[in-house]
């Protein structure tokens, strides 16, 4: 006999919640969770294996709790004059965001974002007992500085999460929105740049705004552009005092010696790890053009995925693609589906399968 959730003394504020649940299915073409579907290059893989085989003899000891070498490597990778005392890292940017919520959220506090946005924000906020509140976007999921600032002023949140570019819509966010939101709140402002490397290379990152803004943090991940989703490595840049706040809530030794070694080795080959980004952007743009030609309404995207509208019955289309071995995502926005750009072959397989259904 097994119990159900309702039988357990669960926290009242967690009752009725559903866990993060992108379906995991072993289909030949998996374009559902915005992974980088290109495997990491062989020589980088060898470098990572060598690094892990060196440290594995020392795993009887706890790892460097301060992951000093890794923080230095991230500071170097990010540039913008950042130093290692401005860097934090954790097991995926999900955990980085969770640390922020634990330090600055919690019961009685409000976390705010502009929907539709990344589905984990609400779960992470509510996981710490904070309230999750959602503001509105304008046409085509865009956000203006005036509108964002006015909504934040009204809501008075403790943490604002700005996803740049936004998941699940792919929408760019201009830096004047970040500046206006920062000025409209006394709380924390987080710019989640998980997909930043897929944005046009001449665009300024929110990292350029960190100077003089101690309540601002910019988070990144190795999961997407670095093709490192399975290794679980995310990081952020902020004022050193902000980093100290995160030290209060992290578990001791939260980044394993294996994770630190793997991430460091991968960062040593950053150029090679990122080599596929431009190719993925080519596939994304091809997907955009073909979706349009097929009569769908793709949203402009600075990420490695596209949300497309004009889908009469998203669940039926999702299932029909599934039946052809192509896994994409129904994120629950009426009339839309979301698909990641894959390799050239995977992208073709998706577009052909979709075309075979008729628009």
- Quickly tell me which residue has 């929907």 as its tokens: 115
Nearer to ligand PMP, 37 or 221 (CB): 221
* Beta strands, E only, 105-187: 110-115, 131-136, 159-163
The residue from 98, 151, 223, 299 that contacts ligand PMP (CB under 6 A) is 223
Q: Smallest gap, in angstroms, from Cβ of residue 223 to ligand PMP?
A: 3
Q: Is 58 helix (H, G, I), strand (E, B) or coil?
A: helix
Burial class (CB in 10 A: 0-12, 13-18, 19+), 316: exposed
Q: Does 92 bind ligand PMP (CB under 6 A)?
A: yes
Q: Does 347 bind ligand PMP (CB under 6 A)?
A: no
Q: Smallest gap, in angstroms, from Cβ of residue 217 to ligand PMP?
A: 13
Containing 194, the helix (H) or strand (E) segment is: none
Q: Does 118 bind ligand PMP (CB under 6 A)?
A: yes
Burial class (CB in 10 A: 0-12, 13-18, 19+), 155: middle
The residue from 101, 163, 173, 177 that contacts ligand PMP (CB under 6 A) is 163
Burial class (CB in 10 A: 0-12, 13-18, 19+), 138: exposed
The residue from 32, 84, 94, 336 that contacts ligand PMP (CB under 6 A) is 94
Dihedral angle, C-alpha 13, 118, 194, 93, nearest 10 ° = 20
Q: Does 221 bind ligand PMP (CB under 6 A)?
A: yes
Number of residues that bind ligand PMP (CB under 6 A): 13
Q: Smallest gap, in angstroms, from Cβ of residue 73 to ligand PMP?
A: 17
Q: Does 259 bind ligand PMP (CB under 6 A)?
A: no
Q: Smallest gap, in angstroms, from Cβ of residue 36 to ligand PMP?
A: 11
Q: What tokens appear for 351 in the block?
A: 């577009």
Nearer to ligand PMP, 122 or 234 (CB): 234
Instruction: Kindly list the residues in this chain that would bind ligand PMP in the complex (CB under 6 A).
Output: 34, 92-94, 118, 163, 167, 192, 194, 221, 223, 229, 234
């Amino acid at each position: 006999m097994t119990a159900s959730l309702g039988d357990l003394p669960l926290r009242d504020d967690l009752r009725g919640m559903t866990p993060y649940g992108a379906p995991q299915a072993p289909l030949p073409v998996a374009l559902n969770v915005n992974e980088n579907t290109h495997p990491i290059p062989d020589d980088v893989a060898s470098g990572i294996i060598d690094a892990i085989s060196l440290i594995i003899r020392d795993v009887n000891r706890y790892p460097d709790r301060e992951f000093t070498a890794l923080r230095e490597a991230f500071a170097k990778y990010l540039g913008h004059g950042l130093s290692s005392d401005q860097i934090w890292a954790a097991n995926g940017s999900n955990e980085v965001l969770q640390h922020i919520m634990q330090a600055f959220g919690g019961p009685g506090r409000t976390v705010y974002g502009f929907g539709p946005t990344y589905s984990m924000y609400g779960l992470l906020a509510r996981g710490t007992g904070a309230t999750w509140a959602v503001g509105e976007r304008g046409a085509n999921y865009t956000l203006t500085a005036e509108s964002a600032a006015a909504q934040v002023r009204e809501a008075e949140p403790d943490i604002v999460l700005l996803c740049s570019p936004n998941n699940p819509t792919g929408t760019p966010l201009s830096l004047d929105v970040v500046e206006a939101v920062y000025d409209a709140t006394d709380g924390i402002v987080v710019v989640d740049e998980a997909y930043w490397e897929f944005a046009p290379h001449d665009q300024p990152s929110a990292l350029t705004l960190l100077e003089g803004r101690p309540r601002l943090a910019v988070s990144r991940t190795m999961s997407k552009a670095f093709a490192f989703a399975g290794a679980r490595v995310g990081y952020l840049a902020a004022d050193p005092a902000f980093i100290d706040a995160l030290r209060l809530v992290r578990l001791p030794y939260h980044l394993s010696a294996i994770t630190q070694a793997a991430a460091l080795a991968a960062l040593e080959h950053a150029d090679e790890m990122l080599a596929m980004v431009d190719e993925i952007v080519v596939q994304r743009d091809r997907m955009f053009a073909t979706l349009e030609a097929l009569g769908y309404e793709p949203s402009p995207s600075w990420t490695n995925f596209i949300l497309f509208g004009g889908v009469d019955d998203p669940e039926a289309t999702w299932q029909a693609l599934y039946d052809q071995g192509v896994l994409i995502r129904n994120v629950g926005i009426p009339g839309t589906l979301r698909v990641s750009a894959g390799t050239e072959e995977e992208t073709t397989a998706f577009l052909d399968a979709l075309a075979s259904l008729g628009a």
